[in-house]
Amino acid sequence: MHTIVRGPCAYEAVYREMQAYTAARDSQTPDALWLCEHDPVYTQGLAGRSEHLLVPAAIPVIATDRGGQITFHGPGQVVAYPLLDLKRAGYYVKEYVYRVEEAVIRTLRHWNVTGHRVAGAPGIYVRLDDPSGHARLPPSDGAAAPSFAGLGKIAALGVKVSRHCAYHGVALNVAMDLSHFDAINPCGYAGLRTVDLSTIGVAVSWDEAAAALGQRLVSGLQP
């Protein structure tokens, strides 16, 4: 997998490039990983509902073909786009999502932060009162909706698979203006708090975070 650090770039242009790259690829096309930092933008998934945008947006809202609801991208966030041939890699979408989430968890561990999965809610979460604690989250006990009590979302995930090839990806919050999340129900969940590494006391640059996440995605997505 070839890693390209694109740095600051407009979301919509990268989105269209991902679509074109995926549509044109064949069995010999190499996999790639693009690491980006976007201008402020809200992106809406295929299942997105307008009521999850709580106030009129002063920044663009772009409809996309990924799964999921609405989220925010902006400066201080590492957005990683693995452009991956899943058939060649030898695993299905469920395992792909697991591997991407695991790469985020291992990245956070580098800074002594414990990332958690929440059943039914893709992405990675941290305990707000103890980001470094290793205690497991309580079981869901078959609850109808995910419980985010005491948690903040630090990484959002959304993917699209076309002809066995994945695009879109994962966004890790590093040091952002988190107020933009107040205008939405993040990923469709009312009251879900969004955090970044800076909020929980980890001072790290975008470049350092991009390098750490990129390395773990490349190793974790190997066939």
Of all residues in the chain, the percent with pLDDT exceeding 90 is 78
Among 56-70, 78-92, 94-108, which is the least confidently predicted range? 56-70
Of 31, 32, 28, nearest in space to 6 by CA: 32
Percent of the chain with pLDDT over 70: 98
Rounded CA-CA distance 81/159 in Å is 9
Report pLDDT for 143. Answer: 58
**pTM to 2 decimal places:** 0.95
Catalytic residues: 187
Q: Which CATH number fits domain 2-220: 3.40.640.10, 1.25.40.10, 3.30.930.10, 3.40.50.720?
A: 3.30.930.10
CA–CA separation, 71 and 84 (whole Å): 23
- Compute the average pLDDT of residues 58-86: 95
The answer on pLDDT for 38 being more than 90 is yes
pLDDT of residue 3: 94
Which residue has better confidence, 11 or 120? 11
Tell which residue, 100, 47, 53, 48, has the closest CA to residue 78: 100
To the nearest 10°, report the CA torsion of 56, 62, 63, 64. -150
Q: What is the pLDDT of residues 119-169, one digit of tens each?
A: 889 999 999 999 998 888 877 655 567 888 899 999 999 999 999 999 999
Which pLDDT belongs to residue 154?
A: 98
Q: What is the pLDDT of residue 206?
A: 98
